[in-house]
Structure 1
Amino acid sequence: MKNKIVALLLLLLFAVSMVMAQGTQKDKILPYPIHQKQLPNGLNVVTVPYNSPGIAAFYIVVRAGSREEVEKGKTGFAHFFEHMMFRGTDKYSKEAYGDIMKEMGAAANANTSIDRTVYHMTGNADMLDKMFEIEADRFQNLKYSVHDFKTEAGAVKGEYTKNSASPYQQLYEKLVSTAFTKHTYAHTTMGFFEDVVDMPNQYDYSLTFFDRFYRPEYTTIVVVGDVTPDKVNTLAQQYFGNWKPGSYKPNIATEPKQTATRYAHVPQQGFPPYLTLAFKGPAFSDKGKDLPALSILSTILFSQNSELYRKLVVQEQKARFIGGGPQFSRDPNLISFSASVVNANDLQYVKDEMMRVLNDAKTKPIDAKKIEETKTRIKYSFAMSMDSPDAIANSLAQYIWLSGNPESINNMYAVFDTITAKDLMDAAKKYISPATLTVGTIAPAEKSPVK
């Protein structure tokens, strides 16, 4: 009888703990538990079981982007390896890798940004073992010849040339290189043009870059879908457990304080005039109020529901669109507000109107109901997008490269709930200043027509 009572008490305790866990999870923006395990070599493994019978998304986040390119003359290599990682190994050639993707009904791809490089595929969950095997092979055994390297470097140069034909891309490059004087955010993910041109001569350095950053301590594996944490962790240990950690840490320069407005201009005839106001903003934090407050404020002031949008776009028809907000990044970056302007003669007027609403936000509290409605829209939009393994893995990847911790996704949205009208005013006062502003323009004039 005593044993039965103990068993019943244990069962009741287990049931209560499960209910409490579910209740806690329901309070989070991501309604699925995030399971984490770090291997002894520093590799982080994240698993999110999700009801997607037979389907799993497999992401690998490398926390190395153009931010880590600290050496003069050596930019663009994070993006370069996005290409080179598909060149194959001794075990699996480029063609064999493609055949396996077809067998799994999957397509592998990758993308690079300032703070990271992400490799991803979504396919047959029953072939998770093979996903781990082929990804572990190329991450630990990538091999390419000088010829392959130069061929891919030429392709990267072609991609740069194609992208740089766009005045928008030209403005973005000028804008960041003007706004940042020391920090590596001064160059885009593609790198500086002169470095891209010289890249075919940098074979030896490419091996150094790979050796530095393609290491377990820089890497997180994310698996979402028809999987279990035990299976994912077992496979991670089996295939990645012997991956040797490195010791390299880049010395990333701190950006000096900006003290006066700067200007970046692209003269362009016959192209829609364009305006960007870029203020220095905060680094990502999943506990601070600045980024959530700036996100909410930007939505209220510059979305299609805003008073300024109705004035400039709908009523006066001086702009085609307006929009913007803060950039989420590991180090302090830009808060950018942009407008596509109908007539270049109205660039100054549009700039003045944008500054008017931004300055008003410092002293005029926004209605609490409007703030709550905006929070709800932001959270609802996010929650509704979490409808597939790929969408969930992609969102987790963003917060992993920002903080290293996928739970930051829940922490961040919890802070959103606490934002008040005072927080919006405080954020506007703190970050909206001519002293930290870089003005970007595209217009027919040879010099910026905006003061």
Structure 2
Amino acid sequence: MKKKYLVAAIAASLTLSACMVTSDGIKSSSELAASDNASSSMSKQSTENSANKVFSQNYLFKELANGLRVLVVKTDYPDLVSVQIPVSVGARDENEVGKTGFAHFFEHMMFKGSDKFPQDVYSDLFKNAGVDNGAYTTNDYTNYHLDFSKDHLDKVLEIQADHFRNLKYTDAQFKTEALTVKGEYLKNNASPTRKLLSAVRKEAFDTHTYKHTTMGFFEDVEAMPNQIAYGQKFFKQFYKPEYVSLVIVGDVDPAATIAMVEKHWGTWQKGNFVSDITPEPKQEAAKYIHEKFDGLPGHWLLVSYKGSDWQPEKKDRAALDLISELYFSNNSVLYQELVVDKQLASQMFNYNPETKDAGLRHVFIKVSDEKDLATVRDAVNNTYAQARTELVSAEKLDNLKSNLKYSFVNGLDSSESIAATLASYMHFDRDPETINHLYNSFDNISAEDIQRIANKYFIDENRTTVTLSALDKISDFDQEVDLNGAVEKIEMKKSQPSAVQFSVLDKTNDSPLIDVNFLFYTGAAADPVGKKGVAALTARMLTQGGSATRSYKEIKKGLYPLAGRFSSQLDKEMMSFTGRIHKDNATQWYALISDQLLNPGWREDDFKRLKKELIDGIKSGLKSSNDEELGKEVLYSELYQGHVYENFNSGDLSDLAEITIEDVKAFYSSQLTQAKLNVGITGAMPSDLKAQLMTDLTALPVGDEKRLTIAKAPALKGHHATIIEKNAESTAVSFGFPIDTIRSDKDWAALWLVRSYFGEHRSSNSYLYQQIRQERGMNYGDYSYIEY
């Protein structure tokens, strides 16, 4: 596939409906089935593969006597045909010193034509026939592509065959085109990403030809006008049928198309050259280089690791692609953190070209401030440490595979796109089954494979880092993260069982309904000065916001069929998260709510939505339509002036307007600790799930404060009355006074009985109810209570 990379696109599980090639001809899938004497198990396997394929077209595939391989796919897109001609020669094959860039150079020269079809003649033919043609060069192959009406297929094949066999150009044309290539090099080198790629390859590779890009080294490009003889040698070596494939897709008759190819290409003589590439020695240490780019706005970082060679039937390549998508795509946690939330970076993307030999896997990041380069570099490497030490969830991995699979299928929407995709894989070993082997391997990747392969490739000794800016040097950048050491520390910490630092009240029983309460001894009283409302926003973000791996919409969708609950309650010194689920759905429910509680997403859109709801609730609820609560809150503010109890639990409107997502994250980190946590469990929770819950909660910071330290209430002297004037038909009265008694005091139970006597929840037998409503005919709408 001609990758729409620079945002790494990979796909999964592709099975072609293939036909077998014999030395003397072609058999279709149906012919093979009719003549095959295979066992029933083999037939079943074929059926299963067929049912699972995502690219369903039959094709014909044949190798001619001269080594040319031909793949023909008939499609239902009317009239149109796409011909792709991948030649298995790229920058990788340029192994002579001083002779780099010739694969790309001949991409240009192939348009010069031949004696029979010179450039002006075939260009006129193509123009009149509406032929759209072009070419591109990569590390490992050069591809020529033509799209046109099916009526011109025979003539296009004839012209291209003659060009490949009898390319003709003058010395003057050779030299002129070499200057054109030099101009292209200079234009491309003005791109920061291309300049970074050129620098990292030159630094990362010592002997392998991946050391230079497809354009070649600039000094070699400058010398090209004087390399006419070598140009002829290069063409004769690689432009031979054993290096070339023909991919023909569209509204064609496959058998007739094969006949056309044999007519025009069959007499082309086979060559005998074999490209010999010196393998790259093992890298011994991490590398770093800085490139100065005068006038460049901002600063660029490129972190690159050596990956696997071409392994279509092994797991390494597929797993590495999945790692890139999981951890470094624009859907990743790191992208959300660096680009969206903290806005340290304005751009971040990955790029992982498919290469025959072990190539580089790249993460690009652009920042505005020099000081942020080290921060984002360490964030990238710490993310690789995370990939090496965690097991990604099976659900997340399966969702990624599914997304990539169907994204891939959606891209096969024309004869041209199908042909281009096939051509990009044919060059490896000139076998269409290669695409099957590679993409089937995605389905077999497990979370354990991801972790194992991450530990194999993402090590310090495989890393090369490049910075690019207008500065001569990047300050405070020399000390890179010790990735291997970071992994060792994480593993050591994981191997040492964490002692539970929170309290547990385990009342597990046989009830099918499981209730869990996560009670933290913190609350609105912990709101910092000027940030009243941050506790309320934190509680809401953890129950009405998404997690790092799921949006809130996805969580609600997941909870709906389970009839699962998860909500929060906030008071002055208490933040409680409660949930209920039937035992049959406990595991699925816990996966969703634990992700919210312990792995918050901190999405800016969730934050803005919840802050708006909280502010609107205070304005339209408390202030406009709930006189009883308003009166009580005013009473608090009068009784507790200058005290942490003074403010409304939901916050102060002026403070709420200024609170940021970073304030919420800081409150979460400092207040939701194990020391403050008390867990209550009832119902038939499975023992393994309970054990997982206990282990997961140890990920919270330990903390050293079990409860908030609250100052004594201000001394109350005399009698005070506050009148709130508002447009209302009724009048609400609230009165009270501070007391020193708390729940742990011996007088608490007696005080509780007094409260009950006065009246709670509009009890018709209570003293207040009798006095206020029954005897005086006034509405008694509230009840007596003891607060905090």
TM range (shorter): over 0.9
Structure 2: distance between partners of 1:72 and 1:247: 22
Aligned counterpart for 2:285 among listed residues 260, 272, 281 = 260
1:195 matched to 2:191? The reply is no
Aligned counterpart for 1:322 among listed residues 335, 348, 362 = 348
Q: Greater CA deviation, 299-308 or 238-247?
A: 299-308
Aligned counterpart for 1:355 among listed residues 377, 381, 404 = 381
Structure 2: distance between partners of 1:132 and 1:421: 47
Look up the match of 1:433: 459
Q: Greater CA deviation, 216-225 or 160-169?
A: 160-169
Secondary structure (helix, strand or coil) at the match of 1:399 reads helix
Matched-pair contact (CA < 8 Å) for 2:157–2:260: yes
* Greater relative contact order structure (CA < 8 Å, 6+ sep): 1
Look up the match of 1:3: none
Structure 2: distance between partners of 1:228 and 1:180: 47
Look up the match of 1:6: none
Aligned counterpart for 1:418 among listed residues 421, 434, 444 = 444
Structure 1: distance between partners of 2:92 and 2:136: 15
Look up the match of 1:245: 270
Look up the match of 2:318: 292
State the one-letter code of the partner of 2:285.
Answer: A
Distance of aligned partners of 1:22 and 1:147 in 2 relative to their CA distance in 1, 3 Å threshold: farther
Structure 2: distance between partners of 1:444 and 1:199: 31
Look up the match of 1:124: 149
Structure 2: distance between partners of 1:164 and 1:191: 12
Secondary structure (helix, strand or coil) at the match of 1:98 reads helix
Look up the match of 2:73: 48
Q: Normalised by the size of structure 2, how large is the TM-score?
A: 0.54
Task: For residue 52 of structure 1, report the CA deviation from its aligned partner.
Answer: 1.3
Look up the match of 1:393: 419
Secondary structure (helix, strand or coil) at the match of 1:356 reads helix
Task: For residue 257 of structure 1, report the CA deviation from its aligned partner.
Answer: 0.3
- Larger helix percent: 1
Structure 2: distance between partners of 1:125 and 1:315: 52
Structure 2: distance between partners of 1:324 and 1:34: 34
State the one-letter code of the partner of 1:357.
Answer: T
State the one-letter code of the partner of 2:152.
Answer: M
- 1:24-55 CA-to-partner distances (Å, cap 9, x unmatched) read 44422322123210001000001111111111
Task: For residue 23 of structure 1, report the CA deviation from its aligned partner.
Answer: 6.7
CA RMSD after TM alignment = 2.2
Q: Greater CA deviation, 350-359 or 269-278?
A: 269-278
Structure 2: distance between partners of 1:31 and 1:273: 46
Structure 2: distance between partners of 1:23 and 1:98: 48
Q: Normalised by the size of structure 1, how large is the TM-score?
A: 0.93
Task: For residue 118 of structure 1, report the CA deviation from its aligned partner.
Answer: 0.4
State the one-letter code of the partner of 1:277.
Answer: V
Look up the match of 1:217: 242
Aligned counterpart for 2:133 among listed residues 94, 98, 108 = 108
- 1:333-368 CA-to-partner distances (Å, cap 9, x unmatched) read 011112112312101000111111110111110111
1:179 matched to 2:204? The reply is yes
Structure 1: distance between partners of 2:138 and 2:223: 21
Task: For residue 324 of structure 1, report the CA deviation from its aligned partner.
Answer: 1.4
Task: For residue 325 of structure 1, report the CA deviation from its aligned partner.
Answer: 5.0
Structure 1: distance between partners of 2:153 and 2:470: 55
- 1:184-231 CA-to-partner distances (Å, cap 9, x unmatched) read 000111111111111000111111111000000000000001113211
Secondary structure (helix, strand or coil) at the match of 2:248 reads strand
Matched-pair contact (CA < 8 Å) for 2:370–2:474: no
Secondary structure (helix, strand or coil) at the match of 2:349 reads strand
Distance of aligned partners of 1:22 and 1:122 in 2 relative to their CA distance in 1, 3 Å threshold: farther
- 1:254-301 CA-to-partner distances (Å, cap 9, x unmatched) read 000001111132123442211111111101221111111111111111
Structure 1: distance between partners of 2:134 and 2:351: 28
Structure 2: distance between partners of 1:88 and 1:427: 47
Distance of aligned partners of 1:19 and 1:332 in 2 relative to their CA distance in 1, 3 Å threshold: closer
Structure 1: distance between partners of 2:59 and 2:305: 35
Structure 2: distance between partners of 1:354 and 1:154: 40
Structure 2: distance between partners of 1:349 and 1:294: 24
1:161 matched to 2:189? The reply is no
Matched-pair contact (CA < 8 Å) for 1:167–1:266: no
Distance of aligned partners of 1:326 and 1:152 in 2 relative to their CA distance in 1, 3 Å threshold: closer
Aligned counterpart for 1:59 among listed residues 52, 62, 84 = 84
Look up the match of 1:273: 299
Aligned residues: 441
Structure 2: distance between partners of 1:323 and 1:108: 30
- What residue ranges of structure 1 are gaps of 5+ in the alignment? 1-9
Secondary structure (helix, strand or coil) at the match of 1:323 reads strand
What percentage of residue pairs aligned between the two structures are identical?
39
Task: For residue 20 of structure 1, report the CA deviation from its aligned partner.
Answer: 9.6
Structure 2: distance between partners of 1:231 and 1:272: 57
Secondary structure (helix, strand or coil) at the match of 1:305 reads coil
- 1:229-263 CA-to-partner distances (Å, cap 9, x unmatched) read 21121111111111011111122110000011111
Secondary structure (helix, strand or coil) at the match of 1:447 reads coil
State the one-letter code of the partner of 1:356.
Answer: N
